[in-house]
Amino acid sequence: MDEVNTPARPAVSRRKPVVTYTLAAICAAVYLLEMLLGADSNTFILALMGAKVNAWIAAGEYWRLLSPVFLHGGLDHLAFNLYALVVWGRVLEAMYGRAKYLAIYLIAGVFGNLCSYVFSPYLAVGASGAIFGLFGALLYFRKKDKIAFNAMFGMQVLLIIGFNLFYGFIRTGIDNFAHIGGLLGGFLAALALGLYGERVPKARRIAVIAGMVLLAGAAIVAGQMMYLQP
């Protein structure tokens, strides 16, 4: 019998995916509040609750770069995102640990909204940018250990990313810029933080964080130039 080297599995957290379930519960609770306030039939209420409104962000309401992650535009929108969050969030929470996973999710959400802020003029809500950030974090894992990645996921992750980006470009009403920004933000955040138990070189962490800050700053300035009236 020929000997075959089995790829070593990465270290994972054995703790329950509390962060994933908490994020899902927050999104569900916020959606119930949206319904009680009538945001399903009044986009102005949705805007007041924290939707991405470019002019208001340009005017200084930068918290709107994060708040849309917890808002949704309909029950089908919420259900699809919560399904993806629970399925993939549990995997990523084990691979990165609670603290790193939460940081990746939130940073990806901000980067998704930053990209949408610069390239899309429309009001937007949804967790999909942050969820794409989870796939960005999986791409970091692929970069670090392609053999283990292929053994665990095969082509599945790449096909999901490719299909959803393609679908986002051909279907109206989808903020694909948020998806692209989230994917990038998740990858960069994972590059700075590392997998569960991974010790990231200090120089790399500083360089990546500095790059992320510069990208965010450039996006904010670009948005102000576009959306603030002279």
Q: Which domains does the chain have, with CATH numbers?
A: 18-227 (1.20.1540.10)
**Mean per-residue pLDDT for 212-226?**
96
Angle at 139 between CA 135 and CA 143, to 5 degrees: 170
Measured CA to CA, the distance from residue 188 to residue 70 in angstroms comes to 22
Query: How does the average pLDDT of the chain come out, rounded?
Result: 93
**Encoded tokens for 119:** 């390239």
- What pLDDT score was predicted for residue 75? 95
Share of the chain above pLDDT 70, in %: 95
Q: How does residue 40 score in pLDDT terms, banded at 50, 70 and 90? A: confident
Residue 182, Cβ density class (10 Å: 0-12 exposed, 13-18 middle, ≥19 buried): buried
Q: What is the pLDDT of residues 162-207, one digit of tens each?
A: 999 999 999 888 999 999 999 999 999 999 999 999 999 999 999 9
- What pLDDT score was predicted for residue 8? 52
* Amino acid (one-letter) located at 97: G
Angle at 216 between CA 214 and CA 220, to 5 degrees: 115
- What pLDDT score was predicted for residue 179? 98
Contacts for 40-44: CB closer than 8 Å, 24+ residues apart = 40/74, 43/123
Beta carbons of 222 and 118 less than 8 angstroms apart: yes
Q: Which residues are catalytic?
A: 128, 179
